Amino acid sequence: MPASSASRGADGASGGAVQPAIACHGVSFSHDGVTRALDGVDLTIAPGEFVCLLGGNGSGKSTLARHLNALLVPDEGVVEIEGRDTARPENVLPIRACTGMVFQNPDDQLVASLIEGDIAFGPENLGIESTEIAARVEAALREVGLQGFGAREVHALSGGQKQRVAIAGILAMRPRILVLDEATSMLDPRGRRGLMRLLHELNEGGMTIVMITHLMDEAAEASRVVLLERGRIVADGAPGDVLTRTELLARQHLEPPCSVRLAAALAQEGIEVAPYVDEGEAAVSIAAAVRRMHRSQDGGLRLSRACSATHRGAACAATAHKTRALLSFDHVFYSYLDRARRRRHERRRAKVGDDRAWGASPDAVWALADVSFEVYAGEFLGIAGHTGSGKSTLIQLMNALIAPEQGCVIVDGVASAGRTGAEHARQLVGVVFQYPEHQLFAPTVLEDVAFGPRNLGCTDAEARERARRALERVGLDAAHIGDVSPFELSGGQQRRAAIAGVIAMEPRVLVLDEPTAGLDPASRRELLGLLDELNRAGTTIVMVSHVMEDLAAHCGRIVVLREGTVACAGTPDDIFSGACDLAASGLDIPATERLARRIAEQGVSLAQRAYLDEQSLARGIAAACGAGGDA
C-alpha cells in the first residue's frame, strides 16, 4: 500500500541508498511498430525533484510521460515507479494511485459536473470510505486555493481553474509524484503563473514533479531539465547547464530563455558575458561586464545610441500612415445579461465576494463597458487581455455577430448595426477564431477553403481559384495538399489552412484570436512571420493575444483590455515603458524589458524607454558601455 512504500523510501534515505521515485532503464517504445518514439531512455528521478522534460514535436516527451503512469508500457526496457515495475498488471493501480497525471486540455479530464464530484472520482475508484473521501476533497480544495468552491459547476470555470480542479482530483488520491503533460499550454499568463506557484508549493511539500513543456520560462524554474530529441535524452542537468546550449535547443526548434539570447546578442556587440538562465543573476553579471568595459576604456565600443523605436519599424511600417480609421469602436457597451438579470448578478456577486484573484469572474456584469479605439488601414494592431477581459466579445462585435448595446461599431464608414450593416462588416472583416483548425470539415483542404467564397456567391471555378490563391498566401502548396483531407495535415498546417479559409473571402481586416495558442515554438514563429507578410502585402491585421513578446515584436500599436474596458492604448514603447499597469490587467511585460529593468536596477543607465527584443537591448547595453567610456 502507498503508506508503507513511503516509509520504505524514508528508511532508504536514512540508510544512504534512496529509492528513486522514477527509474527508466533502456526504455524503447513504438506507436506503430516502425519508428521509435522512445529509443533507449535511461532516466532516474529522485523523490522531491522538480524535473522539466523538454523537447520539440515528435521528441517523445509525451510518450515518456505516459510511461510514468503505466498508461503505456515499454516495448523494451523497464520503467519502475518507486520500485514497482509498470509492466506487471498487479502494479498498475498502486502506480496510478501514487503518480498523478495532468493533461494538456482542461476540458478533457474532468468527469463530473460538480467540482467536489470530480475531485472525489479518484478516491472513489480506490475504494476509500465516504467520510475519508469528504475530508480529502476538502483538503485538496484548500491546497489548490479553491476552498468553498466544491459545489460549483465545472463547466463555468476558466481554463486555469479547471486545471486546478484536475490537480485537486489527483491530490485527493495522495500521490507522491505529479506528471504534467503540457498542462499550462492552454492557459493565459495569469492562470499559468498561478499554476506554477501551486506546483512550487507542492514541490516544497515533498512532491516529485515531472513537467513536460516547451516553455523556457517554466523550464528555467525547474531544479533539473531533461532534453529529449527523437526519443533519446540528449541533455540532462541543471537549467543553467541545459538551457544555455543554444544549438542543441535550436535543433529542437526551441528558443533559449531571454537572458541566454541576450548573452548571445551581447557577444555580437563585442561584450562577453556568461549566459545565465536566472534573470537576476544575468542582470548582475551584465552590469558587472558593463563596469569592466568602463574601466578598460575601450574606445572601439562606441556604438550609436540611435537604436530607439525605429528598429521594429520593419515589422509594422504601417503605423505611420494613419490614413483613416477602417474600423472604429465608439463608446461601445455590451452585456450578456438583460437588465433584470444584471441587477440580480450584481447582488449575488456582492454576496459571494469577489473571486477574481484567481481568474475572471463568470458573474462579471458588463462584458465591455465604454470601449473606444480605432483600427487604421494597413496597420498591425494588437489587443492584449487575459481570459475574461472582454476580448472575445470584442471580436464578435467586429464581425457583427452581435450588436453593441450602446455605442457604435463603424466599419469603413458604415455602422455595423442592422442587417445590411452586418453584411458589410462581415465582408470587410474576416475573423479567425481561437483554434480555427477545429472548424475544418470538408473532405479536402481546397473544398474547406472554398467554403467562404462559395457562401459569398462565387461560382465554383472562382471559389476554387480564390481558395488556391489563399492557400499560396499562407504558404501551403495548393497543388500538393489541395486534395488532401484537412485532418491529415499537421497541427501547424491545419491552422494555416483554416486561416486561408478566412483569407479566401478577401477581407480588408483580418482579426485573429490567439492565433498561436497551443502551437509549438517552431510553428508559432512561422505563423507570426506569415502574419507580418500578409500585413506587408496590405492586409490590416488585428491580433488578439496574451503573449506579450508576440505583441511587442509584431504590432505597431497595442490596446490593453482590463475587465471590459480599455486600460491603455499606444505603441509598444508606450505600453511597455511602465506607463501602463500591465500587472493589474493580469498581463506580463515582455521578458527583454523585464531583464532591462533588472539591469537598470544594477546601476546601468539605459537610454531607451522600452526594450522589446534582445538585439536592441544588447545595443543599448553596448551604448551604455560606450557612454561610460566617454566620461
Partner 1 sequence: MGTIFSFGSYYPGTSLVHRLDPRTKLLGGLAFIVLVLTAHDWAGLAVVLAFVGVLYALARIPLHEALASLAPLMAIVVLASVLNLFVVQGGDVLLRLGPLVVSEGGVWSCCFVAARLALMMAGMSLVTLTTQTLDLTEALERLLAPLARFGVPAHEIGMIMGIALRFMPQFASELVNIYRAQVSRGAGRGSALARARMLPALMVPLFTSVFRHAETLACAMDARCYHGGAGRTRLHPLRFSALDVAALVLLVVFAVCLITVNVVF
Residues that bind partner 1 (CB under 8 A): 66, 69, 71, 93, 96-97, 100-101, 103-105, 107-114, 116-117, 120-130, 133-134, 137, 151-156, 166, 169-170, 173, 336, 341, 396, 399, 401, 426, 430-431, 433-434, 436, 438-442, 451-452, 454-456, 487, 501-502, 505
What angle is formed at CA 162 by the lines to CA 435 and CA 399, rounded to 5 degrees?
35
* Smaller CB separation from partner 1, 434 or 565: 434
Closer residue to partner 1 in complex, CB, 504/558:
504
Least separation in angstroms between residue 416's CB and partner 1 is: 12
Length reported for the chain = 631
Q: What is the 3-state secondary structure (H, E, C) of 363-390?
A: CCCCCEEEEEEEEECCCEEEEECCCCCC
Q: How far is the CB of 16 from partner 1 (least distance, A)?
A: 33
The β-bridge relationship of strands 414-415 and 368-376 is unpaired
In the complex with partner 1, the residue whose CB is nearer, 233 or 367, is: 367
CB of 558 to partner 1, least distance (A): 24
Residue among 436 and 492 whose Cβ is closer to partner 1? 436
**CB 408 to partner 1: min, Å:** 19
Q: Which is nearer to partner 1, 295 or 339 (CB)?
A: 339
Query: How many other CB atoms are found less than 10 A from the CB of residue 396?
Result: 17
Between residues 137 and 271, which has the closer beta carbon with respect to partner 1? Answer: 137
Q: Which H or E run contains 532? A: helix 521-536
Nearer residue to partner 1 within complex by CB, 185 or 244:
185
By C-beta, is 439 or 605 nearer to partner 1? Answer: 439
Q: Are strands 50-54 and 224-229 parallel, antiparallel or unpaired?
A: parallel
Neighbours of 130 (CB within 10 A): 10
Minimum distance between the CB of residue 400 and partner 1, rounded to whole angstroms? 9
Q: Cα(545)–Cα(517) distance, rounded to whole angstroms?
A: 9
Give the span between the Cα atoms of 40 and 233, in whole angstroms. 9
We find the least distance from the C-beta atom of residue 282 to partner 1, in angstroms, to be 38
- Give, for 481, the enclosing helix (H) or strand (E): helix 478-481
Which among 436, 384, 434, 394 is positioned nearest to 549, based on CA atoms?
384
8 A C-beta contact, residue 606 and residue 627: no
DSSP string of 395-434, one letter each residue: HHHHTTSS--SEEEEEETTEE--HHHHHHHHHHHEEEE-S
Distance of closest approach, residue 463 Cβ to partner 1, in angstroms: 11
* DSSP-derived secondary structure letter, 114: B
- Using CA atoms, how far apart are residues 341 and 336, in angstroms rounded to an integer? 9
Closer residue to partner 1 (CB): 103 or 373:
103
Report residue 448 as a C-alpha cell: 474547406
Torsion of CA 115, 119, 121, 124, to 10 degrees: -130
In the complex with partner 1, the residue whose CB is nearer, 19 or 109, is 109
Q: How far apart are CA 468 and CA 274, in angstroms?
A: 49
CB of 319 to partner 1, least distance (A): 26
Minimum distance, C-beta of residue 242 to partner 1, in the bound complex (Å): 28
CB 456 to partner 1: min, Å: 5
Which pairing describes strands 429-432 and 509-513: parallel, antiparallel, or unpaired?
parallel
